[in-house]
Chains A and B, each alone.
Chain A
Amino acid sequence: MEPVIVVDGLTKRYGKLCVVDGISFEVARGEIFGILGRNGAGKTTTIECLQGLRRADGGQMRVLGFDPRTETGELRRRIGSQLQESALPQRIKVWEALHWFASFVPGARDPGHLIDQWGLQDKRNTHFSDLSGGQRQRLFIALALVNQPELVFLDEMTTGLDPAARHTTWELVRAVRDAGTSVVLVTHFMEEAERLCDRVAVFESGKIVALDTPGALIARHTKQITVRFSAGPGDLGWLAAVAGVDQMERRDGSVEIHGTGPVLAEVGAALVGHGIRPADLRADQPNLEDVFLSVTGRRSDE
């Protein structure tokens, strides 16, 4: 199937500063594609170029088959956009905003349905200025979906949401994708990318430093698994010989083992074989944060 986005060598400079430095990627139809990176990594600039909001300095782009530089109008009718740092008139009511944005395109979705779907029923007559951060964010996502887009760009969509609202939003984004809309998600929340995205591109200083499914990235970039359990003072030195164990540390009643592969199962079997059955045997699985640390050399919140 034709990809919804094809980017080849996209470059954007502000003066001498190159914020997007020749990046290339594709997004498949029906995919939730994550763009991860710290502030200033070039994430937002990239999706703004893809929406024709900024002029790229170099490279080729195709979004839904259109060139964002020249076929902007046609493209914008088919995409949805939730932008960082954008707002609505202070005194506009929730239903008025949806109704207004729905008028921009023929065949838009019923605003009342979106109000229900995004949990804004109680706020439909509330002015934008009186909405909480989370309610504003939900309204922006609803506005991005009002034109039944084939592709939607969500930039930092869960910023300002509490954890419960964040999980609800993830469910809704999955539902949006299941209804046939491809999603490009810009985020700096590792957990969000890991839980929601089919594939993730890690941006660093205007370049893509890693791109794959979260699982493949974790498998490729993080080798070590940490196994922990509580143990009495007896000798456990024999654990170092168990398959997959690289290193073992003991600290005040707990044991920490660093290893690779099925190390948890091997250690568990060996412990049981020695008559030790710790109730708290567990492994810390590496996650995207570890990938991020590995490919960029710094933590995502640094």
Chain B
Amino acid sequence: MNVRVLWTSAWTEAKLFVREPMTVIFTLVLPLLFLLVLGGVFGNKPNPAWHGQGPVNYYVPAYLGLVWASIGLLALPVHLVRYREDGVLRRLRASAAPKWAIFGSQAIVASAIALAGGALLIAVAAFTYHIRTPQSPAGVVGAWLLAGIVFASLGILLSCIPTSRGALGAGLGLFFVMMMLCGSGPPFKVMSAPLRDVSNILPLTYVTRILEAPWLGTALAWSDIGVAAGIALLADLVAAVTFRWE
């Protein structure tokens, strides 16, 4: 296994990422902006609507998940579908580019963006609202990795859509619905029953809950982990048979 190809690919892909303003805004700027707006409106005093937590404390783990969602639903699929449309995947396949390096470099870049976005969120929230430190840092790291697996899988699944226009439409739709209904918008407690029903079928809901538990020190439901892992597995299986190089 040639490590140089992985790092050169990842470094090239990282440079391409920062040259794409739309994905930079969606992954790094938008989640931070929303967190600051919600913090400005609700402050960070313990509030029964946010399960007795300070709203910003409550939102930080949810926004860690939202950064992953923006990568998996928008940045990754739009990038890969455009690669296919432009013939880049075809060109890579005709050269000796190993498949594991192509997908591995995407995974490295996605993780680096998620890490940068998450660190930025935590730093800004700590500076402006003196948020509580996570109850179980190791648990947060584990939950964050699982969140990455879920949204990387959904990203590969979305990149089976043939056109970049279609992938962008689907990704934007899913991103905004999940942003509103999966914990990074109104808290679950104030949602109406129908909204909660919708929320319960969206992957980000489970990712948010898995991230919240170790951060806030609430009980972790193993069923949430099972659902999240199941979504990732299903997405990977469907993608494995549907993904096309050209």
Task: State whether the Cβ of A25 lies closer than 8 Å to any Cβ in chain B.
Answer: no
How far apart are B16's CB and chain A's nearest CB, in angstroms? 5
Contacts of A106 in B (CB 8 A): 2
Instruction: Please pick, from B86, B87, B94, B101, the residue contacting A81 in the complex, using a CB distance under 8 A.
Output: B94
B90 A83 Cβ-Cβ under 8 A: yes
Instruction: Pick the contact of A88: B5, B19, B91 (CB < 8 A).
Output: B91
B87 & A85 in contact (Cβ 8 Å cutoff): yes
Q: Is B97 interfacial (CB-CB < 8 Å)?
A: yes
- State whether the Cβ of A67 lies closer than 8 Å to any Cβ in chain B: no
Q: Could you mark each residue 18-56 of chain A with 1 if its beta carbon is under 8 Å from any beta carbon of chain B, else 0?
A: 000000000000000000000000000000000101000
Cβ B96 vs Cβ A87 within 8 A = no
What is the minimal beta-carbon distance from A264 to any residue of chain B, in angstroms? Answer: 47
Given A73-B96, A76-B96, A91-B16, A103 contacting B4 (CB threshold 8 A): yes
- Cβ-defined contact, A103 with B8, below 8 A: yes
Is A83 a contact partner of B87 (Cβ separation < 8 A)? yes
Q: How far is the CB of B15 from chain A (nearest CB, A)?
A: 7
Chain A, Cβ-Cβ closest to B20: A91
Whether, in the assembled complex, B9 has its beta carbon less than 8 Å from a beta carbon of chain A, the answer is yes
**Is the pair B97, A86 in contact by a Cβ cutoff of 8 Å?**
no
- Report chain B residues within 8 Å CB of A101: 95, 97
Q: Which residue of B lies closest to A99 (CB)?
A: B8
Max chain A C-beta neighbours (<10 A), residue from B2, B9, B91, B101? B91
In the complex, the answer to whether B88 meets A88 with C-beta atoms within 8 Å is yes
Q: Beta-carbon contacts of B1-21 to A below 8 Å, as 1s and 0s? A: 010110011001001100110
User: How far, in angstroms, from A188 to B108 measured CA to CA in the complex?
Assistant: 43
Q: Is the CB of B15 within 8 A of A96?
A: yes
Distance, CA A244 to CA B96, complexed state (A): 56
The residue from A53, A90, A99 contacting B94, defined by CB atoms under 8 A apart: A53
Bound: A143/B9 CA distance, A: 15
B230 adjacent to chain A (CB < 8 Å): no
CB distance from A44 to the nearest CB of B (A): 12
- Name the prevailing secondary structure of the B interface residues: helix
Give every chain A residue within 8 A of B8 (Cβ-Cβ): 99-100, 103
B98 on interface, CB distance cutoff 8 Å = yes
CB neighbours (8 Å) of B2 from chain A are 103, 106
Once the chains bind, are B94 and A87 in contact (CB under 8 Å)? Answer: no
Residue in contact with A100 in the complex, picked from B12, B19, B20, B87, CB distance below 8 Å: B12
Mark A42-81 against chain B: 1 for CB-CB distance below 8 A, else 0: 0000000001010000000000000000000100110001
Q: Is A92 an interface residue (CB 8 A)?
A: yes
Knowing A92-B12, A92-B16, A96-B12 are in contact, say whether A104-B86 is a contact too (CB < 8 A): no
Q: A103-B4, A103-B8 are in contact. Are A86 and B88 (CB under 8 A)?
A: yes
State how many residues of chain B have any CB contact under 8 Å with chain A. 23
Closest to A77 in B: B96
B83 within 8 Å of A (CB atoms): yes
B165 within 8 Å of A (CB atoms): no
Interfacial residues of chain A within 171-188, with CB under 8 A of chain B in the complex: none
B93 within 8 A of A: yes
B12 contacts A87, C-beta separation under 8 Å: no
Q: A143: which B residues are within 8 A, CB to CB?
A: 91, 95
Question: Chain A residues near B94 (CB, 8 Å)?
Answer: 51, 53, 76, 81, 83, 86
B88 touches A105 (CB 8 A): no
Pair A147/B83 contact, Cβ less than 8 Å: no
For window 82-114 of A, CB contacts with B under 8 Å fall at: 83, 85-92, 96, 99-101, 103-106
Interfacial chain B residues near A89, Cβ < 8 Å? 16, 83, 86, 88
Residue from A73, A91, A147 whose CB has the most chain B CB atoms within 10 Å: A91
A53 to B90, CA, bound (A): 9
A147 & B96 in contact (Cβ 8 Å cutoff): yes
CB-defined contacts of A53 to chain B, threshold 8 Å = 90, 93-94
Per-position binary interface string of chain A over residues 133-164, scored 1 when its CB falls under 8 Å from any chain B CB and 0 otherwise: 00000000001000100000000000000000
- Closest partner residue, chain B, to A85 (CB atom): B87
Q: Is the CB of B86 within 8 A of A147?
A: no
8 new A-B contacts, CB < 8 A, other than A85-B87, A88-B91, A92-B12, are A51-B94, A53-B90, A83-B90, A86-B87, A86-B90, A87-B87, A100-B12, A104-B97
16 contacts between A and B (CB under 8 A): A53-B94, A73-B96, A73-B98, A76-B94, A76-B95, A88-B88, A88-B91, A89-B86, A100-B12, A101-B95, A101-B97, A103-B5, A104-B95, A104-B101, A143-B95, A147-B96
Interface residues of A (CB under 8 A from B): 51, 53, 73, 76-77, 81, 83, 85-92, 96, 99-101, 103-106, 127, 143, 147
